[in-house]
């Protein structure tokens, strides 16, 4: 029996030595995991050795069992130490490969700029929001009702000839102004109303230095009891002086189907008069179209082109520059 116990002990020592040598030669964590399963798994050499303990004297079994546990613990410790060493080496290698030379010049990133149309729109809306106006938006594809009829454009009204409309195959159209949003907003809200409406608009037009088939507008609308043309003039004056500074302003009589009376507004800019916007008191027919009583409520509206304002503010000589995507031009803003 003593010979058998010595033989089992020798086998355990041999397993320990083999494992120590193999673990020392391991270079990857995957290989190390495979060794752990090989030596410490249920099908490893140590359980096989312990399978022969049944032939030992009962007094010898505890000693061999204790020796097997010592070998398993020793192998586990060596595996843990090797794992820690491999992980440390992997981290060191990663740090070495990712080391940044702080003395090298940095890589520049181009600084973003607001497009002049966006910045002008933001500037205008900030002014009107400061005056208590809400911002509203609407669809760019419209029906004839919202784009014309509800705004007092009769089917044979000569004012329709002022705008060359882009009609779609389904009978709808691309809005020629942002005024349809005013109708939609009034239909959904009761007075008092103060709203600013920015948006893209479309007209059949020949593109040149001052015209574009696609352009941007901002309109304002105020509806309340007792509003007068004096309120309109005061609002326009505050807006233009906030935008341009202390400038001379004049109102000229004009005509729009949806306002009565109507006016064009000019500012004296760099020694000459510039037409800036159109405005007027909301026509009673427009109020009736949305269910407002024109005997109770009055209102005023004004509209202007964003491109026009941007070109004046930034001294841009050609509207086509605003759509060129030329970085040499855009970097100026």
pLDDT by position in tens, the chain (length 333): 455 667 767 777 777 788 788 888 888 888 888 878 887 777 777 777 666 665 666 766 677 777 777 777 888 888 888 888 888 888 888 887 877 777 888 788 877 788 999 999 999 999 999 999 999 999 999 999 999 999 998 877 765 665 688 889 998 999 999 999 999 999 999 999 999 999 999 988 888 888 888 999 999 999 999 999 999 999 999 999 999 989 999 999 999 999 999 999 999 988 899 999 999 999 999 999 999 999 999 999 999 999 999 998 888 888 888 888 888 888 888
| pLDDT of 160 | 62
pTM over 0.75: no
- Ranges assigned E (strand) in the chain: 134-135, 141-142, 166-167, 173-174, 193-202, 214-224, 248-256, 259-269, 272-282, 298-305
Q: How many CA atoms lie within 13 A of 25 on its CB side?
A: 7
Return the bridge partners of 278, or none.
264, 303
Strand 134-135 with 193-202, pairing = parallel
- How confident is the model at residue 165, as a pLDDT? 86
For CA atoms 18, 19, 25, 26, the dihedral sign is positive
Extract long-range pairs of 51-55: CB within 8 Å, 24+ residues apart. Answer: 52/4, 52/8, 53/8, 55/1, 55/4
Answer whether 182's CB lies under 8 Å from 301's CB: yes
Residue 83 in tokens: 């794992």
User: Angle at the Cα of 179 (from 254 to 226), degrees rounded to 5?
Assistant: 70
Beta bridge pairs of residue 200: 216
Distance of alpha carbon 279 from alpha carbon 273, whole angstroms: 17
φ and ψ of 303, to 5 deg? -145, 150
Q: What pLDDT score does 21 carry?
A: 83
CA angle 59, 60, 62 (to 5 degrees): 90
So what's the pLDDT on residue 193?
95
Strands (DSSP E) contained in 164-213 are 166-167, 173-174, 193-202
The answer to whether 222 and 235 have CB atoms below 8 angstroms apart is: yes
| Residues 6+ away with beta carbon under 8 Å from 241 | 247, 249
Backbone φ, ψ for residue 132 (5° rounding): 100, 15
Contact yes or no for 203/284 (Cβ under 8 A): no
The interaxial angle of helices 229-244 and 116-130, nearest 10 deg, is: 130
**In this predicted structure, what is the pLDDT of residue 110?**
76
- Cα(174)–Cα(141) distance, rounded to whole angstroms? 5
Cis geometry, peptide bond prior to residue 192 (ω within 30 degrees of 0): yes
């Amino acid at each position: 029996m003593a010979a058998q116990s010595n033989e089992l002990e020798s086998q355990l020592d041999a397993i320990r030595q083999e494992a120590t040598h193999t673990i020392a030669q391991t270079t990857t964590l995957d290989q190390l995991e495979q060794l752990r399963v090989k030596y410490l798994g249920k099908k490893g050499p140590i359980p096989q050795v312990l399978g022969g303990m049944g032939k030992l004297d009962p007094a010898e079994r505890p000693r061999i069992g204790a020796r097997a546990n010592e070998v398993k613990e020793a192998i586990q410790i060596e595996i843990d130490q090797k794992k820690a060493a491999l992980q440390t080496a992997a981290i060191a290698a990663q740090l070495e490969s990712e080391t940044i030379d702080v003395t090298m010049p940095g890589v520049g990133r181009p600084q973003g700029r607001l497009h002049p149309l966006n910045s002008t729109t933001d500037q205008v809306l900030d002014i009107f929001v400061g005056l208590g106006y809400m911002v509203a938006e609407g669809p760019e594809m419209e029906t004839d009702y919202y784009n014309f009829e509800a705004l007092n454009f009769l089917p044979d009204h000569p004012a329709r000839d002022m705008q060359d409309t882009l009609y779609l195959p389904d009978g709808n159209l691309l809005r020629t102004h942002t005024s349809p949003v005013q109708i939609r907003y009034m239909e959904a809200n009761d007075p008092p109303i103060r709203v600013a409406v920015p948006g893209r608009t479309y007209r059949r037009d020949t593109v040149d230095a001052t015209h574009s088939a696609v352009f941007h507008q901002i309109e304002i609308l105020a509806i309340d009891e007792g509003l007068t043309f004096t309120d309109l003039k005061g609002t326009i004056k505050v807006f233009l002086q906030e935008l341009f500074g202390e400038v001379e302003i004049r109102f000229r009589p004009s005509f729009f189907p949806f306002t009565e009376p109507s006016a064009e507004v000019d500012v004296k800019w760099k020694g000459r008069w510039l037409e800036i916007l159109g405005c007027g008191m909301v026509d009673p027919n427009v109020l009736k179209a949305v269910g407002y009583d024109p005997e109770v409520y009055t209102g005023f509206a004004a509209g202007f082109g964003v491109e026009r304002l941007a070109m004046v503010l930034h001294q841009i000589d050609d509207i086509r520059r605003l759509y060129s995507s030329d970085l040499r031009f855009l970097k100026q803003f």
